[in-house]
Structure 1
């Protein structure tokens, strides 16, 4: 009997270690709260999106998702923190288009680049709007284009700092117009928008998320949207696209993606991707995003492989723009 009991105990121990090797015997992920890191200051577009997504993820993972902000250096400080975090799925990064531009924009990154991350899926896409001070002599884009062409260097183009979506969009517009305007950097969207409304600067290319309230309130003049197609949002529906306004094939959207540290276990990534896909089908999340002029992604890019392929294409696309403009960060 003792020999039989020893055999049974040996068999159970062997089974345990075999199962542990496959991850079956481990406690099911997640066991504790998850941190969703936003590499920008609180209150901005990325922060708003992160907080809405966090609540939807919480419902699907049945664990608290804590939003943490770590701004600085165009989002690279926050990205570096996630890149070097424990690859266990408990520290995630939400990042916008700057994730793809940083490898070209910054000569020295505090992490290796986009291969330092595991891809979980694309979240959304938001157009930007080309807006100007109310006292501009131009009433529409055609008039604005002629006004800029008269003397581009006298046109003050505001943006929210190096690596910001507003700077990148502004670079693309200048490239399309073949007009080098005077760049006016700010430490964030808030002060840039304040000066635009006050008439201190002339133009700004800003995400619809932030621009809609100012357009609706008549505090700035809107000339066009940067999306491929016109927007259905009630405030933006009447605005033409830049493509139909004489800049063929112009299309710039500010997208957000979700990432984990490289080497995060496959089963954990699968669980997180499943939760993300579920969140992006949440009617409440979709409704709130659409109210801000944002489109929730519903195509293949919600899957990790397609998400990574999309980002790689964006890296190549923006590298050309940044290199042509010589707009490198220190």
Structure 2
């Protein structure tokens, strides 16, 4: 009996190894938990075009929307763990939603990390008529006018909203939060001077800052970005250690063979090293992770650290998904 069990175990292991070595043998579906045409969808399609050649298979992009991306993530969790379903998501879908929604799955344990793709800092911007000329003056102005300034957010519980809450905690300031249905209407009101500030992904503001329609105070990154070299980091502007980003990653269903995860990880690393991808990331203001941060384990560690940082802020503010 022992020999029979050992033989069966060896057969199962051997079959799994062979399957992993021949992978992939059919099209791969990448689930994007946002509508077609959005930032995550466009980025995923751009990367998928370059992954196809390395994998030798068609890659199908499936947009599964709803509930701030949690429906798409849930679809991935329930998919077969065979390497033919991958999910590309953001810090919102794969970390923040865990603090905002009563999910039927665990974001930190029910998915297999593949790779951290890139990140984009927030930009702290204000209406062009604000008297504050730099971040230190802005903080001083907010302290002198507690609760009076207005900050537009495109969604409750989003990365920009939480960055604003963290900013208040770090600086000892208070301001009013004004929810909008998307960043477009919020930005329109900022340009028109109807609200005072926004703290959203930097790519939302490059054109308006360049045109002089709004003021840029700082980027919440550890270094300046090529897309806006004249804008200082929060550290340089007088707020040490203040960082926040909207980041992108890739995951597979829990239990996907390690050999397949390793294959997908290697292809993603090769794709990110493509000069065309480097140029595109520079145009978008996206920062590629350092080489030692491109492992599945690094993404798992980073995701846990992000949850430890943002979930308590969500809980303290009693925020709920809408």
TM-score band w.r.t. shorter chain: 0.7 to 0.9
Task: Say which of 309, 319, 329 aligns to 2:321.
Answer: 329
Hey, what does 1:82 align to over in structure 2? 76
Q: How many residues align?
A: 312
Distance 1:231 1:73 in 2: 32
Q: 1:91-122 CA deviation, whole Å, 9 max, x = no partner?
A: 2111222222222233x114233211001011
Task: Say which of 233, 238, 251 aligns to 2:243.
Answer: 251
Distance 2:309 2:37 in 1: 29
Distance 2:236 2:19 in 1: 58
Summarize the Cα distance change of 1:104–1:266 in structure 2 as closer, same or farther, 3 Å threshold.
Answer: same
The alignment partner of 2:83 has SS state of: coil
**1:32 maps to 2:26:** yes
Contact kept in structure 2, 1:71 and 1:78, CA below 8 Å: yes
Map of 1:301-312 to 2, 5 A cutoff? Answer: 301-312=293-304
Task: Say which of 151, 155, 162 aligns to 2:149.
Answer: 155
Distance 2:169 2:13 in 1: 57
The alignment partner of 2:238 has SS state of: coil
Summarize the Cα distance change of 1:19–1:69 in structure 2 as closer, same or farther, 3 Å threshold.
Answer: closer
User: What is the RMSD of the two structures over their aligned residues, measured on CA atoms?
Assistant: 2.4
Hey, what does 2:221 align to over in structure 1? 227
Summarize the Cα distance change of 1:320–1:20 in structure 2 as closer, same or farther, 3 Å threshold.
Answer: closer
Which moves more between the two structures, 21-30 or 188-197? Answer: 21-30
Residue 88 (structure 1) shift: 1.9
Distance 2:165 2:20 in 1: 49
Contact kept in structure 2, 1:208 and 1:292, CA below 8 Å: no
Residue 282 (structure 1) shift: 0.9
Summarize the Cα distance change of 1:265–1:213 in structure 2 as closer, same or farther, 3 Å threshold.
Answer: same
TM-score normalized by structure 2?
0.88
Residue 304 (structure 1) shift: 0.9
Hey, what does 2:273 align to over in structure 1? 281
Task: Say which of 101, 114, 138 aligns to 1:120.
Answer: 114
5+ residue gaps, structure 2, are 1-7
Summarize the Cα distance change of 1:194–1:61 in structure 2 as closer, same or farther, 3 Å threshold.
Answer: farther
The alignment partner of 2:136 has SS state of: helix
Summarize the Cα distance change of 1:86–1:193 in structure 2 as closer, same or farther, 3 Å threshold.
Answer: farther
Task: Say which of 105, 108, 112 aligns to 2:100.
Answer: 105
The alignment partner of 1:295 has SS state of: coil
Residue 285 (structure 1) shift: 0.4
Hey, what does 2:64 align to over in structure 1? 70
Residue 23 (structure 1) shift: 4.1
Residue 19 (structure 1) shift: 8.8
Contact kept in structure 1, 2:121 and 2:219, CA below 8 Å: yes
5+ residue gaps, structure 1, are 1-13
Hey, what does 2:47 align to over in structure 1? 53
Hey, what does 2:253 align to over in structure 1? 261
Residue 26 (structure 1) shift: 8.0
TM-score normalized by structure 1?
0.86
Q: 1:193-225 CA deviation, whole Å, 9 max, x = no partner?
A: 233223332211121222222222333221111
Residue 251 (structure 1) shift: 1.2
